[in-house]
Amino acid sequence: MISSFVGVLFDGFAYGMLLFLLSVGLSVTLGMMNFVNLAHCSFAMLGGYVTVTLMDRLGWPFLATLPVAFLAAAGASAALERVLFRPLYRASDLDQCLLTIGVVFVSVAGAAYLYGTVQQPVQLPGYLRRAVTLGSFRFPVYRLFLIGAALAVTVVLVAALECTRFGARVRAAVDNQRMARGLGIDVDGVFAVTFALGSGLAGLGGALAIEMVGLDPSFAFAYLIYVIIVVSVGGLASIGGSFAAAALLGISDMAGKYYVPQLGAFLIYLVMVGLLMWRPAGLFGRR
Amino acid sequence: MATVSLEAVGGAHGYLRAQTRWRRSEIAFWLATLLPFLLFPAYLQLASQIAITALFAVSLDLILGYAGIVSLGHAAFFGLGAYTAGLFSKFGWGEPLSGLILASALAGVVGYAASFVIAHFRHLALIMITLGMGLLLQEAANSASELTGGVDGLQGVRMRPLFELFPFDLWGRTAYTYSLAALFLTFLVARRLTHSPFGLSLRGIRENAVRMPALGAPSRTRVRQVYTIAAAMAGMAGALLAQTTLTVSLEVLSFQRSADVLVILILGGAGRLYGGVLGAIIYMVARDQFSGINPQYWYFWIGLLLIAVVLFLPNGILAGLDRAAARFRRRSP
Amino acid sequence: MLTTRIALTLAAMLFGVSPALAQPTVKIGLIMPYSGQFADTAAQMDNAIKLYLKQNGDTVAGKKIEIIRKDTGGVAPDVAKRLAQELIVRDQVDILAGFVLTPNALAAADVSAESKKFMVVMNAATAIITTKSPYMVRTSATVPQLTETFGTWARKNGIKQVYTMVSDYGPGHDAEQGFQRGFKDAGGEVVGSVRFPVANPDFSAFVQRARDVNPAAIFIFVPGGVQPAAIGKALAERGIDAKTTKVLGMGELTEDEARKSMGDASIGIITVYHYDHNHDSVANREFVKAFNEANAGRNPNIYSVGGYDGMRLIYEALKKTGGKTEGDALVAAAKGMKWESPRGPIAIDPETRDVVQTVYIRRVEKVGGQLVNVEFDRIENVKDPFKSRMAR
């Protein structure tokens, strides 16, 4: 009884961390910059394809592909930001929504054209496929790895935003653009870097996710709902909020599926609707 | 004092009356909707589904464009209408008009119930709650597969001829006539509504929900009313689809359908009733043509279309056309 | 002269009617989900259809074959129905074909029945589909044909208890019912069952439930694509492998990409299917070789063989009717037709117009360093049990 409870707790937390890694970039672009970035999962998909290509075709080790996935997504988003997104920072939410959906459509068709519609198989190295046994508990290494990665991302991100000069510039630019410009902050540059950071995190999340959720061109649509749920429940602009929301959603989803499987499909939505009715601005939201 | 306020009242009425007047372009547009019968008789099924989507988009426009409620779960009402109409016919009531009205009424009732929740929220929470309620309803329909037929869809839907005279034919003549008539009549209602003081108060809510009650327009009541009307209209669109295609499947309730209609409305231009209609025509014709040419990669071209519209015609195609027309008028006195 | 031509061109433009062509044609409208979540199934089917045309030429019984492709974008019966109607009234196709997904096939069946057009279902596997139009023939399989047979087989081969895990939607329910029926009728015991949501990224909770029961065997049905590998990995993580618990499943579970993702964890999984590219026969070796060459080394799967056999059925039926395309004539020609498919001998049951074929039981094994589905048992001449019961 207790052992299965621990198991559910662990699995749920790891699943939550997967959701967190996929969505943390969105709490930067949508949350902090207030840009309705529905193309978030397209950047995640890009990261995934980069990892698959490097591993499958060039024989790179899995871990070495991760920074490349981050950089590729960041680079691609920086280019798109310059051409497409920047002129739209002040446009209506609806226009941002339409533009980024257009980007999703193009990316889905592009991925299908380049890689075909087939599932991309990923074979992780042996040490990540094992499980650690502790007494009667079994902890799969990859789940431990996901948890570790999520914690690392959270610490680095929070530290970078709260404790560095760059972080202070970002917060200033996000809070009050005109004032920040007046203070001589290069707002355009800060926004470009922030956007690239958010999308790079998406790329990293995508690369880490494919082992669990697979990869094909419909990826850009399939996980969009999940990432928006995490960001909205966590509260916009709050990294800690996204972390808490992802953990909560992951654990409740897993526990629900284990104890009341008949409710399996309803749970994540029920929890989301319930939490948002209780706290419309999200768990850690300020607005 | 008295004269001023009277004048103001007269002015307001005058303003509303001017808004209600039928413009020549509007009359031309509705006459043009009859053209497919003559010019594209092999496209009437498509035209019928465009009319249905247009009706669905107009219903979303009422709440999004006029009251500022962004919904990602509007397909819930569309699906409710579709399943109601489908189930009615399955259990022996195949008369289309009564089925349509009943389906629409039921969607309206559910919309009214949901509006009590909706009216309490705004912004992202509102979007996500509508999304969540829509997805929950879809899951419920999947669970109740004994009743709904689940993923395979509802089987055994049959329609009696319209007015017992016009059977729904393969060419879609009856289907288009029926859908177009429903769209036109509902559009008249929506038009009247948005050009009334009620419509003005909705726009006020969209701009500033906190301030409207101070002007004597109770925000939440208004929001509830318009949400109910929009739900009934969406239900009617769903019922039309079920009746003209004789198919109902879980997909009528899907997130995809909610998202598609949102894209269509933004594409055409939210906040102007013709935006939804124009968006439906452009999106669905483009999709039909692109996917006919290239069934595998047509998403690419639709994506480019959306990006181009945002970059060159911000706030939707209709707004872009209006600006172009205004510029043209200024240049030629 | 000129006026006639202008009139004809106008008619063609307005009514979609093409003026008489030099060579008579047979038009086939393919309705498939070329885009969206199920795009890959359509792509694999289309690849085989293209291959068949390449191998057999585009002329049958003096008529040129013309193919028109239409995309439904996924599960969309309303779209599928409209496309079928448009194909018939606008493009004037003679045959409707393709159909990966059940709801779309059911919707188009109405059109086939009403317009009396021949319709070939090349994949959609819900049993009842072929009852919806008398002009319809299926060249794939039905879910009960595979799972019910498999249930009976499992009990006969020493498995006494089973726990079933299926996706919570139509095909999953069919698979669950089919397997449980076959298994129970043969005297087996179902010790538990669970259904998981269709969109389910993480299976560990459900696998844990199964493990708590500690059954002798687990039967799994998940749709092809992402999920087979995901559930396979969850099984391995929880320490369920073929040594402790027999893992049984529909063939989707051990498709090429799934085996590759699962790695050695897939060894020992037993599945039921009607086709694998590894099937040992002359016809199949030739088919796989040609398919590989045409598709950059990719192997055909059940969707491919369904499409390939579907095209073959259309060609042979047209030969029999001498190019006549009336629904009655084509369906009469198709009934009782027998041939050697890459999957083995198959026939069209004249009563149900469904396929009669060999059902294979396979186990994943490592052969020469490669993980392959090895066929180790077979049940021949299996008819769809669902419709056999309906007839009784």
pLDDT of the residue at C392: 62
A126 token code pair = 């042996």
Provide the 3-class DSSP secondary structure of residue C120. strand
C363 min Cα distance to partner chain A (Å)? 20
pLDDT of the residue at A1: 62
Is residue A151 situated within a structural domain?
Answer: yes
B247/C102 CB distance under 8 A: no
Of A8, A3, A1, the C-alpha closest to A255 is A8
Task: Please tell me whether the interface predicted TM-score (ipTM) of this complex is above 0.85.
Answer: yes
Query: Per the structure, how many domains does chain A have?
Result: 1
Which DSSP helix (H) or strand (E) runs through C71? strand C63-71
Residue B244 phi, psi (nearest 5): -85, -20
Nearest chain B residue to A31 by CA: give it: B124
Q: At what angle do helices C77-89 and C102-115 cross, to 10 degrees?
A: 30
B142/A272 CB distance under 8 A: no
Interface test mutation site (partner B, options A94, A107, A224, max chain B beta carbons within 10 A): A94
- DSSP-H helix ranges across chain A: 2-26, 40-52, 58, 62-80, 93-115, 126-129, 141-163, 165-175, 177-182, 187-213, 219-222, 224-234, 239-259, 267-278
Chains near C with 3+ CB pairs less than 8 A apart are: A, B
Which tops the pLDDT comparison, C392 or A195? A195
Chains near B with 3+ CB pairs less than 8 A apart are: A, C
A233 min Cα distance to partner chain C (Å)? 19
Nearest chain C residue to A117 by CA: give it: C40
Confidence bin at A260 (pLDDT 50/70/90): confident
CA-to-CA dists, residue C148 to A256, C1, C155, C191, C272, angstroms:
31, 65, 11, 17, 10
C233 min Cα distance to partner chain B (Å)? 26
DSSP bridge pairs for C166 = C195, C221
pLDDT of the residue at C22: 57
Interface test mutation site (partner A, options C194, C203, C222, C226, max chain A beta carbons within 10 A): C226
Q: What is the mean pLDDT of chain A?
A: 90
Interface test mutation site (partner C, options B159, B247, B263, B290, max chain C beta carbons within 10 A): B247
Do B158 and B246 meet the contact criterion of CB atoms below 8 Å apart? Answer: yes
pLDDT of the residue at C391: 67
Interface test mutation site (partner C, options B135, B152, B302, max chain C beta carbons within 10 A): B152
For C366, residues 6+ apart whose C-beta sits below 8 A from its C-beta are C264, C267, C372
C102/B170 CB distance under 8 A: no
C369 min Cα distance to partner chain B (Å)? 35
| CATH number of the domain residue A214 falls in | 1.10.3470
Alpha-carbon distance A210 to C233, whole Å? 12
A51 min Cα distance to partner chain C (Å)? 14
pLDDT of the residue at A67: 95
Q: At what angle do helices B219-245 and B197-207 cross, to 10 degrees?
A: 110
Beta strands in C197-336 (DSSP E): 217-221, 246-250, 270-273
C112 min Cα distance to partner chain B (Å)? 11
pLDDT of the residue at A51: 95
B232 in contact with A at a CB cutoff of 8 Å? no
Res. C115: pLDDT tops 80: yes
Q: Tokens 């897939």 — which residue?
A: C266
Chains near A with 3+ CB pairs less than 8 A apart are: B, C
B293 in contact with A at a CB cutoff of 8 Å? no
pLDDT of the residue at B8: 52
State the count of interchain CB pairs (< 8 A) between B and C: 107
Give the residue numbers in A contacting C (CB under 8 Å), as ranges.
4, 7-8, 11-12, 15, 18, 109, 112, 116-123, 129, 131, 138, 140, 142-143, 211-214, 216-218, 222-223, 226, 254-255, 257-258, 261, 264-265
Average pLDDT of the residues in A11-29: 92
Do B259 and B82 meet the contact criterion of CB atoms below 8 Å apart? Answer: no
Amino acid in the structure at residue A15: Y
Interface of A with B in 195-214 (CB under 8 A): none
B294 in contact with A at a CB cutoff of 8 Å? no
B212 min Cα distance to partner chain C (Å)? 42
Q: Choose among A91, A269, A276: nearest Cβ to B135.
A: A269
Q: At what angle do helices A93-115 and B255-268 cross, to 10 degrees?
A: 120
- Domain that includes residue A161, residue range: 2-278
pLDDT digits (tens, 9 = 90+) for C229-284: 888 888 888 878 767 789 999 999 999 888 888 888 889 999 999 999 999 999 99
Burial of B311: CB neighbours in 10 Å, binned 0-12, 13-18, 19+:
middle
A111 in contact with B at a CB cutoff of 8 Å? no
Provide the 3-class DSSP secondary structure of residue B40. coil
Confidence bin at C19 (pLDDT 50/70/90): very low
A169 token code pair = 């510039």
B136 min Cα distance to partner chain C (Å)? 12
C315 min Cα distance to partner chain A (Å)? 28
pLDDT digits (tens, 9 = 90+) for C171-193: 888 899 999 999 999 999 999 99
CA angle A123, A125, A131 (to 5 degrees): 105
Radius of gyration of chain B (CA): 20
Alpha-carbon distance C188 to C158, whole Å? 9
pLDDT of the residue at C385: 87
Alpha-carbon distance B2 to C143, whole Å? 80
Nearest chain C residue to A118 by CA: give it: C40
pLDDT of the residue at C5: 52
Do B157 and B246 meet the contact criterion of CB atoms below 8 Å apart? Answer: yes
B310/A88 CB distance under 8 A: yes
pLDDT of the residue at C323: 86
Average pLDDT of the residues in C28-40: 91
- CA B61 to mean position of chain CA atoms: 7
Is residue A283 situated within a structural domain?
Answer: no
Radius of gyration of chain A (CA): 19
Amino acid in the structure at residue A71: L
- DSSP-H helix ranges across C100-169: 102-115, 143-156
Burial of A89: CB neighbours in 10 Å, binned 0-12, 13-18, 19+:
middle
C86/B250 CB distance under 8 A: no
Which residues of B are less than 8 Å from A282 in CB distance?
Answer: 124-125
Average pLDDT of the residues in A213-234: 90
Instruction: List b or e across B100-111, with b for residues whose CB sees 16 or more CB atoms inside 10 angstroms.
Output: bebbbebbbebb
C126 token code pair = 């819900």
Alpha-carbon distance C82 to C87, whole Å? 8
pLDDT of the residue at B4: 44
Do C103 and C82 meet the contact criterion of CB atoms below 8 Å apart? Answer: no
C109 min Cα distance to partner chain A (Å)? 27
Amino acid in the structure at residue B253: L
Alpha-carbon distance C109 to C173, whole Å? 22
pLDDT of the residue at A162: 87
Alpha-carbon distance C239 to C262, whole Å? 13
CA-to-CA dists, residue B113 to B68, C182, C224, angstroms:
19, 46, 39
B304 in contact with A at a CB cutoff of 8 Å? yes
pLDDT tens by residue, chain B, 333 residues: 344 444 555 566 777 777 778 888 889 999 988 989 888 888 999 999 999 999 999 999 999 988 888 899 999 999 999 999 999 998 888 888 889 999 999 999 999 999 998 888 888 889 999 999 999 999 899 888 888 888 888 888 888 888 877 888 888 889 999 999 999 999 999 998 888 887 777 777 777 766 777 776 677 788 888 999 999 999 999 999 999 998 898 999 999 999 999 999 999 998 888 999 999 999 999 999 999 888 889 999 999 999 999 999 888 898 888 888 888 887 765
Is residue A132 situated within a structural domain?
Answer: yes
DSSP bridge pairs for C118 = C95
Nearest chain A residue to C225 by CA: give it: A119
pLDDT of the residue at B189: 92
Alpha-carbon distance B314 to B177, whole Å? 33
Alpha-carbon distance A191 to A172, whole Å? 11
Interface test mutation site (partner B, options A81, A95, A275, max chain B beta carbons within 10 A): A95
Which domains are seen in chain C, by residue range?
2-141+283-353 (3.40.50.2300), 144-273+359-391 (3.40.50.2300)
Radius of gyration of chain C (CA): 22
Do B81 and B239 meet the contact criterion of CB atoms below 8 Å apart? Answer: yes
- DSSP-H helix ranges across C16-142: 39-56, 77-89, 102-115
CA-to-CA dists, residue C11 to B259, C22, C91, C226, angstroms:
38, 18, 13, 48
Do C144 and C358 meet the contact criterion of CB atoms below 8 Å apart? Answer: no
Is residue A17 situated within a structural domain?
Answer: yes
DSSP bridge pairs for C270 = C248, C363
Of B204, B69, B265, B315, the C-alpha closest to A92 is B315
Instruction: List b or e across C158-171, with b for residues whose CB sees 16 or more CB atoms inside 10 angstroms.
Output: ebebbbbbbbbbbb
- CA A20 to mean position of chain CA atoms: 6
A87/B315 CB distance under 8 A: no
Q: Choose among C71, C89, C170: nearest Cβ to B298.
A: C71
Nearest chain A residue to C39 by CA: give it: A117
Nearest chain A residue to C240 by CA: give it: A138
pLDDT digits (tens, 9 = 90+) for A137-146: 778 899 999 9
CA-to-CA dists, residue C56 to C50, C315, C343, angstroms:
10, 9, 19
Do A29 and A96 meet the contact criterion of CB atoms below 8 Å apart? Answer: no
For A258, residues 6+ apart whose C-beta sits below 8 A from its C-beta are A4, A8, C205, C206, C208, C209
Alpha-carbon distance C94 to C29, whole Å? 8
Is the CA virtual torsion A180, A181, A187, A189 positive or negative? negative
Of B101, B105, B107, the C-alpha closest to B137 is B107
Range with the poorest average pLDDT among A20-24, C19-23, C67-71, C295-299: C19-23
B151/C85 CB distance under 8 A: no
Average pLDDT of the residues in A206-218: 90
For A107, residues 6+ apart whose C-beta sits below 8 A from its C-beta are A39, A42, A45, A46, A220, B303
C139 token code pair = 């060249």
B304/A265 CB distance under 8 A: no
The domain ranges of chain B are 43-255
